[in-house]
Structure 1
Amino acid sequence: MTIQIQPGITLTVIPTEKYKTIRLFARFSAKHTRQEAASRTLLTSILETNSLNYPTQTALSAKLADLYGASFGLNVGKRGNLHQVNLAMTVVNGKYINQPRVFAEAVAFLKEILFYPNIHDKQFEQQTFDLEKNNLIAYIESIEEDKQSLASLKLQELYFEGDEDQKTPSFGRVEELKKVTAQTLVETYEKMLKEDQIDLFVVGDVTEEAVLEEIKALPFSQSERASFEMFYRQPEKNTVKEATLTENVLQGKLNLGYATNIYYNDPERYALMVFNGLFGGFPHSKLFMNVREKASLAYYASSSIDTFRGFLSVQTGIDGKNRQAAMTLIREQLEALCRGEVTEEELQKTKAMLKNQYLLSLDNPQALIETAYLNVWLPETKQNQEELIENIMSVTKEEVQIVAQQIQLESVFFLNGEQIDE
């Protein structure tokens, strides 16, 4: 059941007897921008550290312990044009421990976190602010030490080079983060509560009436909430952008970015899912079998799709001297799919693995929430379990071939090692 609490705020209740816990989840969605990503990320760090009535991390942790060891946290994400602040909490279902007020107490705890942050004189408590800001700066700077993550971010910078917002990761950039003060972060907080689209979810052995009664007590303001297009559609390019970064690494990273022009609400999405499984998504894929296993040109080789930005990426770890050979072999795998060179066994195995992935996700409360979120934002894509499986299983080799033929390489990023001469 999904109901509109007020314009721009929805509540979705997913009753199920699968779990002995109840998951509460709140998502605040706004337009993703370079200017605000870092500030919103810092806000999540501070909100999960303490609050006005739980002014220390110890006090907040003690309250969670009182709630029978409840788990709680905030993070950020990015989907297409949207920046998302996520708040999640999991508590034991009170009916199993003869404590019927546990859910109500969990909602009251979330109310404390969201509506009574540790703000004094129109600024966040300075000591907490300074600590969390420095921690976040250190985290963002440390990402450069994870060369696989670095290569992935650099590829996206190159692929989306014409759009400062899309080039920016969900957690933001250090340059913008350094500008944030304890006062301006209050503005970020107030804007999020007042202007973001808010989607609330509760999953567990609960009744819709009982959940609604508690959620209605959350004092969200009546306000004009912004609405944004979820999909980011990049103009087509006629050239392939290439960039190389040289660092002292033993293993090079060759990452490629392709335009698919296929989005989550397109009927071709299912053929794209099968294509990706055949191309680099699974251990039996062409990239894994031919680039990594047979030719031994890569330590790893895989592909992934983003159906909210029409983007496909290939990630490989290679020796620098093998760059051109790897590029050639990756291109040949795509060309083979363009020619329809797929056996019936490969096709059926890929569809079976996609089906199994989906069925396994049904055991995950967060996966149920993500599906429900998309059903709220993209109601035209809503489908039941049988329909989704049928859409996957009915994909033909010819449909995969058509998808492959419209995949266009647009960006190549190579992280090279200093010790290698080319």
Structure 2
Amino acid sequence: MIQLKQGVRLHVLPTKKYKTIHIYARFTTRLQRERMTKRSLLSNLLETNSANYPDQTKLSAQLAELYGASFGINVGRKGNLHWLNIGVSVVNGKYVNDPDILPQAVDFFKEILFHPNIKEGSFDVQTFALEKENLQSYLESLNEDKQTLASLKLQETYFTEEAQKIPSFGSLEDLVHETSQSIAAYYQEMLANDQIDIFVIGDVEEETLKGLFAALPFTDREETKPEIYYSQPVSNVIRESQLQESVIQGKLNLAYSTGIYFQDKARFPLLVFNGLFGGFPHSKLFMNVREKESLAYYASSSFDTFRGYMNVQTGINSQNREKVLHLVAEQLQALQKGEFSELAFKQTKAMLRNQYLLGLDRPQNAIEIAYMEQWMPGTYLTDEQWLARLDAVTPQEVEKVAKQIQLQAIFFLDGGQ
């Protein structure tokens, strides 16, 4: 890790695995509701054009010049952190006999980040109007996809903190108030205050990259490490909410507290538990709720070890709500009693192992591991260590995890069919 400025770090991840070089910058701040929509709109504005490439055509032409480089900006969250991510991927100059590609890619990165389409304290009016309208349309469209709607409504029902209730890309209510001036002002604030991690992965040399990135006009900022984990006290009262819409398929989604976080030893038993509960096609939810009883069009579970949260998603005929609730509870109880076959247990581990090994081919995977080690030292595991931890999980540990899972919230989209 190279400290470019205080709070600005360069991570070089050399590998001969790829013919491309990936430059990836992550801006990290504490998750706060008032920032989320700003950051989402800002990411769209930075991705659309810049001062020297004032329209999308010019920006695309520059990417074409870089042998068809790919480029994208998005936002995301992890527990109590909010991210704005900038990614540029270019072919390694060694393969096209052009040593200038990497410096040119870093110049492009500099252009996007330090020279946005801002004049006199405002983003370009036309670009701003278009991107604000696009984000509004996207946020409005979320209500059309009923599965997404149900998932977001469940989070709104389960979480007690405002920033956790809304998606990482913000809300319509907050978007209304944003102007080209407010986002330009926030851009300056983000550039000056966010913690910045830049990752470069590919067949590269650290010294070369250090020289290229040290030349960028970053400034010192206070180094902060907000608490990454979000935790919420377990409630004795199950929170419920419901929407009535004329849809063919009802949605019954359930939220649970796991009390298990990324650094906990129980993370690996939780992985296996989730695979047996609803993570795979041989899981109890899939086999018993969907296949055997034919009570659901789909039934699955997933979890978040940065918020101690797990959810179950089902698509059902609305009149079967109580039957499905009861049947899902039965599947959890069966796992709490250790009622799963050795075959299902071994199959789950084998599928988790395959998932992990497939992920090793993705540059993003290496970036996330390096980021986690930066923010949470001591979490790094070699591939052998990760697989050994998975392999060591016992049926008793899975049973113990199952007993920790507590239902906290129910959201029901009633189709009234």
Q: TM-score range, shorter-chain basis? A: over 0.9
- Please name the residue that 1:175 is paired with: 173
1:287-326 correspondence to structure 2 within 5 Å: 287-326=285-324
Distance of 2:64 and 2:306 partners within structure 1: 39
1:27 aligns with 2:13: no
Post-superposition Cα deviations, 1:133-189, rounded to whole Å, max 9, x if no partner, equal 0110110011000000000000000000x2111111101011111101111111210
1:10-89 correspondence to structure 2 within 5 Å: 10-89=9-88
1:370-381 correspondence to structure 2 within 5 Å: 370-381=368-379
Mean CA deviation greater in 309-318 or 364-373: 364-373
Distance of 1:367 and 1:351 partners within structure 2: 20
Contact residue 349 and residue 391 of structure 2 kept, 8 A: yes
Give 1:347's match in structure 2, choosing from 333, 345, 348.
345
1:96 deviates by: 0.2
SS at match of 1:88: strand
1:377-388 correspondence to structure 2 within 5 Å: 377-388=375-386
Give 1:338's match in structure 2, choosing from 336, 339, 346.
336
1:222-371 correspondence to structure 2 within 5 Å: 222-371=220-369
1:396 deviates by: 0.2
Give 1:408's match in structure 2, choosing from 394, 406, 409.
406
1:24 deviates by: 0.7
Contact residue 225 and residue 375 of structure 2 kept, 8 A: no
SS at match of 2:26: strand
| Seq. identity, % | 56
1:226 deviates by: 3.8
Distance of 1:262 and 1:277 partners within structure 2: 16
Distance of 1:5 and 1:355 partners within structure 2: 37
Contact residue 137 and residue 174 of structure 1 kept, 8 A: yes
Contact residue 22 and residue 91 of structure 1 kept, 8 A: yes
Contact residue 301 and residue 315 of structure 1 kept, 8 A: yes
Distance of 2:339 and 2:4 partners within structure 1: 52
SS at match of 2:233: coil
**Matched AA of 1:279:** F
Contact residue 150 and residue 413 of structure 2 kept, 8 A: yes
Contact residue 260 and residue 407 of structure 1 kept, 8 A: yes
Contact residue 279 and residue 303 of structure 1 kept, 8 A: yes
Contact residue 5 and residue 219 of structure 2 kept, 8 A: no
Distance of 1:253 and 1:146 partners within structure 2: 11
1:129 aligns with 2:128: yes
1:225 deviates by: 4.2
Contact residue 338 and residue 405 of structure 1 kept, 8 A: yes
Instruction: Give the superposed CA RMSD.
Output: 0.9
1:6 deviates by: 2.6
Aligned length: 417
Structure 1 gap ranges (5+) = none
Distance of 2:187 and 2:225 partners within structure 1: 18
Structure 2 gap ranges (5+) = none
Post-superposition Cα deviations, 1:362-386, rounded to whole Å, max 9, x if no partner, equal 0011111111111111112111110
Post-superposition Cα deviations, 1:189-220, rounded to whole Å, max 9, x if no partner, equal 01111111111111111112222221111211
1:75 deviates by: 0.5
Distance of 2:410 and 2:360 partners within structure 1: 36
Distance of 2:290 and 2:22 partners within structure 1: 40
Normalised TM-score (structure 1) = 0.97
SS at match of 1:157: helix
Contact residue 16 and residue 206 of structure 1 kept, 8 A: yes
Distance of 2:236 and 2:325 partners within structure 1: 19
Distance of 2:214 and 2:353 partners within structure 1: 38
1:227 deviates by: 2.7
Distance of 1:30 and 1:223 partners within structure 2: 12
Which consecutive segments of 4 or more residues in structure 1 shift more than 4 A? none
